[in-house]
Amino acid sequence: MENVIRVGIVGYGNLGRGVERSIGLNPDMHVAGVFTRRDPASVAPLSEGTAVRAVEELPALADEIDVLVLCGGSKSDLPVQSPQLASVFSIVDSFDTHARIPQHYAAVDAAARAAGTTAIISTGWDPGLFSLQRLYGEAILPQGETYTFWGRGLSQGHSDAIRRVPGVAAGVQYTIPSDDAVSRVRAGERPELTTREKHTRECFVVLEDGADADAVREAIVTMPDYFEPYDTTVHFISAQELARDHAGVPHGGFVIRSGSTSSEASQSVEFRLALESNPEFTASVLVAYARAAVRLAAAGDHGAKTPFDVAPGLLSPKTPEQLRAELL
Amino acid sequence: MENVIRVGIVGYGNLGRGVERSIGLNPDMHVAGVFTRRDPASVAPLSEGTAVRAVEELPALADEIDVLVLCGGSKSDLPVQSPQLASVFSIVDSFDTHARIPQHYAAVDAAARAAGTTAIISTGWDPGLFSLQRLYGEAILPQGETYTFWGRGLSQGHSDAIRRVPGVAAGVQYTIPSDDAVSRVRAGERPELTTREKHTRECFVVLEDGADADAVREAIVTMPDYFEPYDTTVHFISAQELARDHAGVPHGGFVIRSGSTSSEASQSVEFRLALESNPEFTASVLVAYARAAVRLAAAGDHGAKTPFDVAPGLLSPKTPEQLRAELL
């Protein structure tokens, strides 16, 4: 067995706490510290044994940490942190702004190559596991179509959009894949689906005192990009109901490759996630890729990587011999 | 774009024909020939342009072929052919005798290392894609259980067993996953399931003239290992019905990882295949891994590999840049 992998957690919101929990389930790994931009004294870790330190201390700790798991956001944190920290440490991030992945990759790759570190970007489940399924599906069934459906799940971005509507005190939004669309895809129809046909949106809203429900509903369902392209349902509930029934962060979805190998044979490959905690699952994916990053770095395979570049066996604590005997 | 990959097909049953079809769907690949142990003049390829040659000609063709796809059986063909041919060519096989994978790997690895070739063994869907899902599931959710269900699908081994029963003229057998077991697993119950609870078996049998249906049924359902551990249903049908309704070779199944990341959060990862043609789909997986074998060989990464060792991106004809921009 290798030495225990010392993992630093950068950022300590829901995702960072998920990483701390996940490391606790992996005996070959150890939390080397939580690194925060807040006052470390103000941050209470889940486990008493976890040290909380200032993110500024990191550059001096290159010898004490094998890999950093970056838990910041893709909008403003990771574009700065990933290249910066990859110039000292091997890292894993969950950069998820699809359109900017090529430029993020280039920046991280330059830093990691110069420093001789390994940086796996865009891990998590989409991008991440869903991306892998899109790739496997297309490579195996070149004649076909790939469909990605999200949900049923809480969308943070859409929930934030609801909460900015005047008259809304609080609220959450669930993205829901259309049963009809999923059934048609599974049946091998290979339909062309509009945005409205693929997903619906369901909102649970707490009104401010005296707010006009109809006006709020109208403002939500007509909101461009966020809700207008979808069939959106708005439910008004009490603050108590919101706290009782909507505190979780479930998510999930499907990737379906529907293809054919000859005129007689339709083939369907489906990958499905049903997650009760989106941040804890995402964190678990990041942690598995952290193990891979350490192994790639040790093998001298430096630079930026994505899940496409990482041999599956590197994610597992088991040896290649064990994997062949037990899982193949 | 790389040069077109020249693929030799060794063995020309259902799987070999599926490989020929699959290569026709991949513009970066070309059939360099079908190699058979039969009289080549007696073998008609699907495509007129495909040359059929004697397998004995292979050793002289090292310069004309980039990779061989081995389409023989795991019982007697591949244990001999894979090491033998890996000592001249990069190869891909679908060796599927789970218990003998370690010794097959060792024999192929020795031959491939000595020759400087790359040999990817045990591709296909189980072992193969299902193995990958078992690995990803376990690595990401270490606290959990993995369930593999097969079917609904035609089992060649069980169909052969039926046909050996006295009084049976012809017949097929379908393996069927139990709906109830799948539902319980999906619901996160993590049940301990007996063999009988996971799958049922359904047989469609054509009797010989004068055979005793009750005796045949009894001989089937009590057959040790094959049918006794399962709830088995036997239907008697005519030869015409068998030809009309049971000529296809459908298969598929599920791999489900049911885990938890904390006491509050159950997580479920499911992979599902629904295949109208098992050999054509298996062939498509072999062909994608043939592309990977050629790339690994060109990169000097020699020896035996399994799907666990192959970075997903190597399966796709797209460049890493395209994959990041289009599929991540």
Pull the structure tokens for residue A94: 């969950």
All residues of chain A having their beta carbon less than 8 Å from the beta carbon of residue B323 are 135, 306, 308
Calculate mean pLDDT across residues B273-293.
97
Tokens 């970007």 found at? A121
Asked if A17 and A24 count as a contact pair (C-beta separation under 8 A), the reply is: no
**Cβ count near B239 (within 10 Å):** 11
Query: Is 60 exceeded by the pLDDT of residue B311?
Result: yes
Touching check for A24 and chain B: CB below 8 Å? no
Q: Closest Cα to residue A327, out of B136, B260, B315, B106?
A: B136
Q: Which of A140, A273, A284 lies nearest to residue B261, judging by beta carbons?
A: A284
CA-closest candidate to residue B210, choices B161, B162, B168, B243: B168
Rounded to whole angstroms, how far apart are CA atoms A18 and A53?
A: 18
Query: What is the rounded CA–CA span in Å between residue A236 and residue A225?
Result: 22
> Do the beta carbons of residue B67 and residue B290 sit within 8 Å?
yes
Residues in A closer than 8 angstroms to B300, CB to CB, are none
Assign residue A11 a region (left: φ > 0; alpha: ψ between -120 and 50; beta: otherwise): left
Question: Within 10 A of B135 (CB to CB), how many other CB atoms are there?
Answer: 23
Q: Is B277 on the interface with A (CB under 8 A)?
A: yes
Tokens 């999923």 identify what position? A182
Mean pLDDT across the stretch A324-328? 95
Cα–Cα distance for residue pair A183/B204, rounded to 1 Å:
29
Average pLDDT estimate for B274-288: 97
- For B121-164, write each residue's pLDDT tens digit: 999 999 999 999 999 999 999 999 999 999 999 998 899 999 99
pLDDT at A1 over 80: no
Q: How far is B131 from chain A (nearest CA, A)?
A: 5
Contact B98/A at CB under 8 A: yes
Chain B hits for A327, Cβ within 8 Å: 131, 134-135, 138, 308
Q: Smallest CA–CA separation between A4 and chain B, in Å?
A: 16
Query: Coil, helix or strand for A37?
Result: coil
Share of chain A above pLDDT 70, in %: 99
Query: Contacts of residue B18 in chain A, CB cutoff 8 Å?
Result: 261
- Interchain pair B140, A288: CB under 8 A: yes
And the tokens for A251?
Answer: 């998510």
- Residue B152 preceded by cis peptide, ω within 30: yes
State whether the Cα torsion B84-B118-B139-A278 is positive or negative: negative
Average pLDDT over residues A218-239: 96
What does the block give as tokens for A75?
């909008």
d(Cα A196, Cα A190) in Å, to the nearest integer?
17
B129 sits in which H/E element? helix B129-140
Asked if A136 reaches chain B (Cβ–Cβ under 8 Å), the answer is yes
CB within 8 Å of B188: residues ≥ 6 apart: B258, B260, B266, B268
* pLDDT(B1) > 80: no
Instruction: List the single residue in B274, B307, B321 with the smallest CB-CB distance to A268.
Output: B274
CB contacts, 8 Å: A280 with chain B: 261-262, 265, 267
What value, to the nearest 5°, has the Cα angle with vertex A322 and ends A320 and A324? 70
Assigned token pair, B213: 């249906």
- pLDDT(A298) > 50: yes
Q: Cβ of B321 and A281 within 8 Å? A: no
pLDDT (tens digit per residue) in A312-323: 999 999 999 999
Between the CA of residue A46 and those of A16, A24, A34, B175, B207, what are the distances in Å? 10, 11, 11, 47, 67
Helices (H), ranges, A56-155 = 78-86, 101-115, 129-140
For residues B57 and B44, what is the distance between their CA atoms, to the nearest angstrom? Answer: 18
**Cβ–Cβ gap A277/B285 under 8 Å:** no
**How far does A221 lie from chain B, in Å, by closest CA?**
30
Q: What percent of chain B stands above pLDDT 90?
A: 98
A126: three-class secondary structure by DSSP: coil
For residue A178, the distance in angstroms to the closest alpha carbon of chain B comes to 19
Q: What percent of chain B has pLDDT over 70?
A: 99
A12 and A54 in contact (C-beta within 8 Å)? no
- Plot region of B311 (φ>0 → left; ψ -120 to 50 → alpha; else → beta): beta
Own/partner contacts of B156-164, CB < 8 Å, gap of 24 or more, are B157/B226, B158/B201, B158/B203, B158/B226, B158/B227, B161/B223, B161/B226, B161/B227, B162/B203, B162/B205, B162/B220
Model pLDDT for residues A162-215, shown as the tens digit of each residue: 999 999 999 999 999 999 999 999 999 999 999 999 999 999 999 999 999 999
Can you give the pTM of this predicted structure? Answer: 0.96
* B65 close to B53: Cβ distance less than 8 angstroms: no
Q: Burial letters for B180-189: b for 16+ Cβ neighbours within 10 Å, e otherwise?
A: ebbebbbebe
How far, in Å, CA of B93 to CA of B127, rounded? 11
User: Which residues 167-226 of chain B have a CB within 8 Å of chain A?
Assistant: 186
Burial environment of residue A60 by CB neighbours within 10 A (0 to 12, 13 to 18, 19 or more): exposed
Select the residue of B127, B275, B316 nearest A135 (Cβ to Cβ).
B316
Contacts of A279 (CB under 8 A, 6+ apart): A13, A14, A15, A17, A18, A249
Cβ contacts from A onto B, under 8 A: 212
pLDDT of residue B3: 82
CB contact under 8 A, B272 and A274: no
User: Omega of the bond prior to B320 within 30 degrees of 0, cis?
Assistant: no
Output phi, psi for B177, to 5 deg.
-70, 145
In the numeric block, which tokens belong to residue B151?
A: 């079917």
Q: Examine the pLDDT at A2 and tell me if it is beyond 70.
A: no
Nearest to A105 among B131, B270, B324 (CB): B324
Instruction: Tell me the backbone φ, ψ of residue B188, rounded to 5 degrees.
Output: 85, 15
Give the angle B47-B48-B51 at the CA atoms, nearest 5°.
Answer: 95
DSSP, collapsed to helix, strand or coil, labels residue B212 as coil
Lowest-confidence region among A154-163, A212-221, A295-304: A154-163
Across the interface, which of A129, A261, A275 has its CB nearest the CB of B277?
Answer: A261
State whether B268 and A283 contact (CB < 8 Å): no
Selecting from A132, A266, A313 the residue whose C-beta is nearest the C-beta of B309 gives A313
- What three-state secondary structure class fits A125? strand
The pLDDT mean for chain A works out to 96
Contacts 24+ apart (CB under 8 A), B298-302: B301/B118, B302/B112, B302/B113, B302/B115, B302/B116, B302/B117, B302/B118
The two structure tokens encoding residue B185: 């697993």
- Residue A186, min C-alpha distance to chain B (Å): 9
Burial A268-277 (b: 16+ CB within 10 A, else e): bbbbbbbbbb
